[in-house]
Amino acid sequence: MGFFQERNSLALKTTLQADALRELSENFDQHLKEQLAAQKNAWQAKEDAYHAEIQNLREEKEEVICRYEEEIASADISTAVKISGLLAELEQEKQEKQELLEKTAVRLDERSRMIESVMSRIGVDVKVGKKSTANSGGPFIAIDEKYSESLLNRSDKYIKTIRKMPLGYPMRGRITSGFGRRSDPINSRPAFHAGIDLKGRIGQNIKATADGIVTHSSYDKNGFGNFVILRHGNGYETVFGHMSKRLVKKGERIQRGQVVGLMGNTGRSTGPHLHYEVRYKGEPINPKKYLSVAKLSFTVPE
């Protein structure tokens, strides 16, 4: 009886343990399924988030690409406009430069002809071209920089030459004694006058008629009194005599129009005047043609 009771008790326990084990197994499977489902949902959510992020990046990339393409297109248009503007400015500058060259060439040519006329008038052997369009023709050739440069060089050469030539009057005054033979004003004997005498007032400014260097600034009581001699180059010299005061020293460089002394009555003189003399290669020449240049009038186009 005890055995059967023990047996029944064990069978009951076995049944209870089997039920408990089956329930535990069912709960474990259910819990495992729930955990797997939850993990799967979490993984799916992450995957969806990744896909959404990738899509956002793609959209941002496409937006950036579109924006860059628009900026590049806009930059190309802007660059093209700038290049077009620069080309237009360059063409305008080129045209203005050509007009300036032509205008400058005309002025240089006119000035060269003007200087050639002066040099021809005083006896320098130069050919003066005449500007004429009658009975002429041929292909048009625009003035270029090389031609303008040649005109400029010619003009500069003429200007350097003419600045060393004694042109015009050294002072305002009336000629009281000309160049050449005359009766000496002191002893009335026939004599040769190597220059001209210009009457003026004591203290009047006496100016250089060309650029040069002072070779003499001295006093000669039996001759020119206070006198100055300038050497101008190209064989020219000028002499200023009978001054009351000398304002330059030997070796000093002088420019045309600079005051070299003051009118006076020193040395062998009968009254206030300037003895003005022009020498060429050491010999006195008649200053008349050099003085007459001051009366010439030229109009140079601007």
- Using the predicted structure, report yes or no on whether residue 156 has a pLDDT greater than 70: no
Place of tokens 């026939």: 190
Q: Which two tokens stand for residue 174?
A: 């009336």
- Using the predicted structure, report yes or no on whether residue 96 has a pLDDT greater than 90: no
Spatial separation of the C-alpha atoms in residues 203 and 228, rounded to whole Å: 16
Q: How confident is the model at residue 140 (pLDDT cuts 50, 70, 90)?
A: very low
Contacts 24+ apart (CB under 8 A), 120-127: 121/289, 121/292, 121/293, 121/296, 122/165, 122/167, 122/289, 122/290, 122/293, 123/289
The confidence score (pLDDT) of residue 132 equals: 42
The residues near 203 (Cβ < 8 Å, ≥ 6 apart) are: 244, 262, 263
Question: Of all residues in the chain, what percent carry a pLDDT higher than 70?
Answer: 75
Place of tokens 């002893």: 187
Residue 238 contacts residue 277 (beta carbons within 8 Å): yes
Q: What is residue 162's three-state secondary structure?
A: helix
Q: How confident is the model at residue 236 (pLDDT cuts 50, 70, 90)?
A: very high
The confidence score (pLDDT) of residue 124 equals: 55
User: Between the CA of residue 193 and those of 16, 197, 255, 256, 291, what are the distances in Å?
Assistant: 168, 9, 27, 25, 17
**Interval 186-206 mean pLDDT:** 87
Residue 133 CB-density burial (10 A; 0-12 exposed, 13-18 middle, 19+ buried): exposed
Instruction: Write b or e for each residue in 247-277: b if 16 or more Cβ atoms lie within 10 A of its Cβ, otherwise e.
Output: ebeeeeebebebebbbbbebbbbeebbbbbb
Spatial separation of the C-alpha atoms in residues 251 and 225, rounded to whole Å: 20
User: Which residues are paired to 254 by β-bridges?
Assistant: 212
pLDDT, one tens digit per residue, over 237-258 is 999 999 999 999 999 999 999 9
Q: Which domains does the chain have, with CATH numbers?
A: 174-295 (2.70.70.10)
The confidence score (pLDDT) of residue 63 equals: 85
Q: How confident is the model at residue 130 (pLDDT cuts 50, 70, 90)?
A: very low
Q: What is the pTM of this model?
A: 0.54
pLDDT, one tens digit per residue, over 50-66 is 888 888 888 888 888 88
Q: How confident is the model at residue 296 (pLDDT cuts 50, 70, 90)?
A: very low
